[in-house]
Structure 1
Amino acid sequence: MKRIALPVLTALALTACATSPLGRSQFLLMPADQMDQMGVTAYDQMKTEQKISTNSKQKRYVQCVASAVTAESGSEQQWEVTLFDDPAANAFALPGGKIGVYTGLLKVAKTQDQLAAVLGHEVGHVLAQHSNERMSIQYATETGTQLLAALAGDSGGAAQQGLMAALGLGTQVGVTLPFSRKHESEADIIGLQMMARAGFDPRQSVELWKNMAAASNGSPPELLSTHPSSGTRIEDLEASMPEALPLYQQARAAGKRPNCG
């Protein structure tokens, strides 16, 4: 493994400097195509291990919202959407154009606009390459050895767990997103702008988080549970409305009026 690690890290370091969609300087070691492949691998694994919903109506609804949001991503990436039959109020997006939504989320994200807020946030993590940032940091830790093993083709449990963790995926049923506060806040803003450009009401992002706070009964909601708290998130979203609302009004004037049902 040491023979693999040194040349890999040396080559990746050449691509380390980057800028996020909001202008923040980033340190990224992994090439984008490698991240995409890891996202696809993790997604395929989840589809074999978790139950996929057969509810055609809900699947069409989620696909409709996701298609409208991702159309504003500024990328030609084709996004695959899977609705998992699971009561968790959860969702995720992975490099490689992969989105997962849990049926339990539809009880908390009660409107198409609220679901768009969640999906915009998740896709925002991908657009800002937050998994790449996390993985780059982990190369300097013991976890980096496991990640290198996964990259080298080791399909062992430890290697795969390291890979899944770096992508922000939990190893148990359900998904966690252990991103930092700056990542969460950045994804919130990117998602808010994306949903507004798609013609979804950005003000519903605030209502979503009120629902999440109520559903959590005082505990951190499963979705995006690490940082920040629901109250702080709501305050930050409200502070961003002066920029998001004009985007929403422009989208509506241009005829972007999603009707996903």
Structure 2
Amino acid sequence: MRANTVKGALIAAGCSALLACSASPTGRNQLLMFSSQEMSALGVQSFEQIKQQENIERDPKVNAYVQCVANAITPYVPRDGSFQQWEVVVFDSPQVNAFALPGGKIGVYTGLLNVARTQDQLAAVIGHEIAHVVAQHSNERLSRSQLANAGLQITSIAVAGSDYSQYHDLTMQALGLGVQVGVLLPYGREQESEADVVGLDYMAQAGFDPSQSIALWQNMAKASQGQQPPELLSTHPSYSHRIRDLKATQARLPQYNKKAPDCERFLK
């Protein structure tokens, strides 16, 4: 039996037994065993920990630039009743990375700005990371862990407090965060591809140029030559595969008339 077939059978069985089935933004079946409020609590706790342990960028120009791009995208993201607004923090780190967490939290590392060279390329990354949250990929990964470890009462982590520390490592992994602060873990390939598709639509609706997502990954590929690939690149099968899929997705996008704000003015 093929691995995908086995996985699908397990999810179907879990949905049948737990009545926790849902559909992702692209219509893919998901097993989701936690509420938005529970996942948001985990995201907020983890984000506060990261802010305490990472260096926060203090340059007002850089912060205004990243905030401008994020603010242009978030109005086109489906609202989540578990939080009021998105919080954006720029971390002073050479990492070529970014992330978003349930609870409306976005983190961008300054190293990313050396590769995402335009506001459209930065929008491609932020749209992608927000899409992970909207598609509930952390919930999906944590739910699969619950199903695979039925003997563990993982569901108790959803109650903020002492139980969070007990299952800290597991929840951090589900959120895409390493136990070591600053280390981001990859989602599954189908989740990464789904975030590409959904995120591209978000950035396009906001008026950013979706073709720049392809330029972004070409930059990523060049940056990885002869050295360790950037963290974002390592989370996807290959840059050539990703670029091919992005081109196909871009061709299917509606023609939006919105014009993105000039966020790059903050860097001048």
TM-score range, shorter chain: 0.7 to 0.9
RMSD: 2.3
Q: Which among 254, 257, 261 is matched to residue 258 of structure 1?
A: 261
Corresponding position: 1:225 with 2:234? yes
Task: Give the match for residue 202 of structure 2.
Answer: 194
Task: Give the match for residue 215 of structure 1.
Answer: 223
Q: Which among 44, 50, 65 is matched to residue 48 of structure 2?
A: 44
TM-score w.r.t. length of structure 2: 0.84
Structure 1, unmatched stretches of 5+, are 1-8
Task: Give the match for residue 212 of structure 2.
Answer: 204
Identity %: 54
Q: CA deviation at 1:75?
A: 1.6
Q: CA deviation at 1:169?
A: 0.6
Corresponding position: 1:18 with 2:25? no
Once residues 189 and 47 of structure 1 are traced to their aligned partners in structure 2, the CA distance between those partners, rounded to angstroms, is: 29
Task: Give per-residue Cα distances to partners, 1:40-96, cap 9 Å, x unaligned.
Answer: 111011111111110110000000000111111122651000001111011000001
Once residues 147 and 231 of structure 1 are traced to their aligned partners in structure 2, the CA distance between those partners, rounded to angstroms, is: 38
Once residues 84 and 102 of structure 1 are traced to their aligned partners in structure 2, the CA distance between those partners, rounded to angstroms, is: 5
Aligned length: 245
Q: CA deviation at 1:148?
A: 4.4
Structure 2, unmatched stretches of 5+, are 1-13
Corresponding position: 1:35 with 2:39? yes
Once residues 73 and 151 of structure 2 are traced to their aligned partners in structure 1, the CA distance between those partners, rounded to angstroms, is: 33
Q: CA deviation at 1:156?
A: 7.6
Once residues 173 and 179 of structure 1 are traced to their aligned partners in structure 2, the CA distance between those partners, rounded to angstroms, is: 17
TM-score w.r.t. length of structure 1: 0.86
Higher relative contact order (CA 8 A, sep 6+): 2
SS in 2 for 1:71: helix
The amino acid of 1:170's aligned partner reads G
Once residues 68 and 151 of structure 2 are traced to their aligned partners in structure 1, the CA distance between those partners, rounded to angstroms, is: 38
Could you list the structure 1 runs, at least 4 aligned residues long, displaced by more than 4 angstroms after superposition: 146-149, 155-158
CA 1:154–1:142: 2 relative to 1, 3 Å: farther
Task: Give the match for residue 113 of structure 1.
Answer: 120
Q: Which among 87, 91, 94 is matched to residue 84 of structure 1?
A: 91
Q: Which among 176, 180, 183 is matched to residue 191 of structure 2?
A: 183
CA 1:27–1:213: 2 relative to 1, 3 Å: same
